[in-house]
Amino acid sequence: MGNMAPMLLCLALMAGCATVEKYDTAPTAQGRTQGYLPSKQLPDMIALLPPPPATGSTAFALDQETSHASFPLRDSARWALAIQDADLSFPAAAESFSCALNARITEQDTPRLFRLLRRTLADAGNAVSRPKDTYKRPRPFMVNGERICTPDYEQRLRTSGSYPSGHTTAGWTWALILSEIAPEQADAILVRGRAYGQSRIVCNVHWQSDVNEGRTVAAAVVARLHADPAFRADVEAARTELAAARAKGLLPVRDCRTEAEALALPPAAAPQPSGN
């Protein structure tokens, strides 16, 4: 762990030494940030998603194995990155994919892209709220009694359903949209988007099935978004902004080398189904 200390310190600084999860609640001129989709246009995730795995089922046993397999990552650089990924507040969240894009994302430099990320975060959050409230699934730390990466946020997490993962929905929504805006960076963006969801398992606040179905919600949300003219206009404007930012040499403000090293840490071995 001696060589890991500088990396952990750097990631802690990047995350603002946060120990709590944050959400985007900054008001706009009209009130809180609004998504593109009115409630009646949101996908019906109760109809689209299966119920979460039942206690005692094979699927839940796999969830538990995957959760347990993540424990060796505690206090590693990957754990520190998971703390950073827990922060959904802006402007911090806007930079989550800047390394994958190899460009700076700020309200000053890329205002339409910044707004696009904020508004689609609202859509992602609105889409997961009904299944979360319907199923009220207990989170892993409530079952296994192990610590989480954002302890100051534990009480709120206890009252928020685990299924599906809202952070994963947001991260995969952004990954799908950004890979369309910057197709030449699509592989790096999608890798980062997948890692964003897996951070929730590292943090011990979501099961793997929560994360998997969070990506399903994201796909459904993005499909609906493409029917919205305002969303499509912002995507085109964001593409132009991103090209201009690159032309100006506006590189990410994050420490991309440290982030890459954290993501390169070998994940805990995925449990394999047993055979006869």
Cβ atoms 179, 235 nearer than 8 A = no
The DSSP bridge pattern shows strands 87-88 and 22-23 to be parallel
The Cα–Cα gap between 200 and 67 comes to: 10
Which run of H or E residues covers position 87? strand 87-88
Cβ atoms 112, 241 nearer than 8 A = yes
**Which residues belong to the active site?**
167, 200, 206, 210
Burial of 134 (0-12, 13-18, 19+ CB in 10 A): middle
**Nearest in space to 274 (alpha carbons), one of 3, 62, 105, 27:** 62
The Cα–Cα gap between 70 and 57 comes to: 20
